[in-house]
Amino acid sequence: MVKHVVQVPLAAGEDLMIQKNSIGSGPKRLCVVTGTHGDELEGQYVAWRLNRLLQSKLSHLHGQVDIYPALNPLGISTMTRGMPLSELDMNRTFPGSSQGPMSDYIAAKLMEDLAGADLCIDIHASNIFLREIPQVRINVNTADTLVPLAKYLNMDFIWIHEAATVLESTLAHSLNAIGTPTLVVEMGIGMRITRSYGDQLLTGILSILSHLGMWDLPVMPVAPPIISSDGAVSFINAQVPGLFFPSTDHKTHVEEGQELGVIADPLTGQIRQTIHSPASGLLFTLREYPVVYEGSLIARILGGSL
């Protein structure tokens, strides 16, 4: 059943509406949220497929699955990453306040609706610049609780990252802080849909539903993910501006010193920088958008001591 979670009147003859589809019933509840950043579409495919699958096999679902395809409907409908008008990053507005301005009010109402779920899965899709392998990102402070759950999600990689104060205003942090376990999935790239990644996550969602006792059909086995902390991740940033042309494929193993690509100057024909891998390991992030500035992230390698 489609429900309105938040409804806010806009200035000129329209309401902002955040909707969810509630499927099934029972004491247990899994929430799948996506579309916080309006330029991230990977979760749309997952929401669509999960909707169809659960509705077609409803008798095997024991509990309630709430699917929220668009937490930021104005952003997603206008190809805008943040919240249009204010340009706020919606994922820096939580937990919000029901007495506060519009962004705070929306955040508070979402928190109210999501609080108490047995698990929340918050699907992101990198941004328009970088392609990511399917991964779960977990704050080190919540790793003990969340890593065992994340292993069911069928993602390639679990990245346990250091805590940062600025991240305390994310949806995931705010929900975890009130005892609603929330896993953040990052996969693919902004403004595109990688259906194979979506299918992979779908398998993981069924697996975790089964683990939670909410699904009684057999599920496909999930591969154990690589689990790593910040220490094993190498960052490669552009040192000069230009056009980045990769010479390796995403999601491949690279050797230390191997060429990853060049930054080229289309005006002079020169190569301004040849980029080599600083470590041996998995190329799990690779720049997709060619124009780079000094500092633009080019790649991340998962290697070294895991």
Partner 1 sequence: MRENILFSLDTPYRQSLLVKGWYFGNPEQKSLAVMGAMRGDEVQQMYICAQLIQALAKLEQEGALSARCGILVIPCANQASMNVGRRFWAADNTDINRMFPGYGEGETTQRIAQRIFSALQGYQYGIHVTSLYVPGRSLPHVRIMETGYDHPEEANDFGLPYTILRKPHPYDTTTLNYNWQIWDTQAFSLYSEETTEVDPISARQAVDAVLRFLAGKGLCRPVAGAGEVTRIFHEEELHNVLATTGGLLIQRLALGAHAAAGDLLADVLNPFTGAVVEHLRTQVDGRVFFIHRSHLINGHDVAYRILPEQG
With CB under 8 A, what is the number of residues at the site for partner 1? 41
DSSP 213: T
Minimum CB separation of residue 204 from partner 1 in Å reads: 30
Minimum CB separation of residue 14 from partner 1 in Å reads: 8
Among 43, 75, 82, 188, binds partner 1 (CB under 8 A): 82
Does residue 177 belong to the site contacting partner 1 (CB under 8 A)? no
Does residue 241 belong to the site contacting partner 1 (CB under 8 A)? yes
Phi and psi at residue 109, to the nearest 5°: -65, -40
Site for partner 1 in 202-221 (CB under 8 A): none
| Helical (H) or strand (E) element with 210 | helix 195-211
How far is 285 from 287, CA to CA, in rounded Å? 7
Among 85, 140, 220, 223, binds partner 1 (CB under 8 A): 85
Nearer to partner 1 by Cβ, of 20 and 81: the residue is: 81
Minimum CB separation of residue 170 from partner 1 in Å reads: 9
Does residue 168 belong to the site contacting partner 1 (CB under 8 A)? yes
How far is 127 from 285, CA to CA, in rounded Å? 11
Structure tokens at 12: 């000129």
User: Contact, 43 vs 35, CB < 8 A?
Assistant: yes
Does residue 116 belong to the site contacting partner 1 (CB under 8 A)? no
Q: Is the dihedral of CA 123, 196, 25, 18 positive or negative?
A: positive
Minimum CB separation of residue 222 from partner 1 in Å reads: 33
Minimum CB separation of residue 182 from partner 1 in Å reads: 16
User: Would you say how long the chain is, in residues?
Assistant: 306
Does residue 101 belong to the site contacting partner 1 (CB under 8 A)? yes
Helices assigned H by DSSP within 127-187: 143-150, 171-177
Among 86, 247, 270, 274, binds partner 1 (CB under 8 A): 86
Q: How many whole angstroms from its chain centre is CA 100?
A: 27
User: Contact, 42 vs 194, CB < 8 A?
Assistant: yes
Residues within the interface to partner 1 (CB under 8 A): 8-14, 16, 81-82, 85-88, 92, 99-102, 105-106, 127, 129, 165-169, 235, 237, 240-243, 291-297
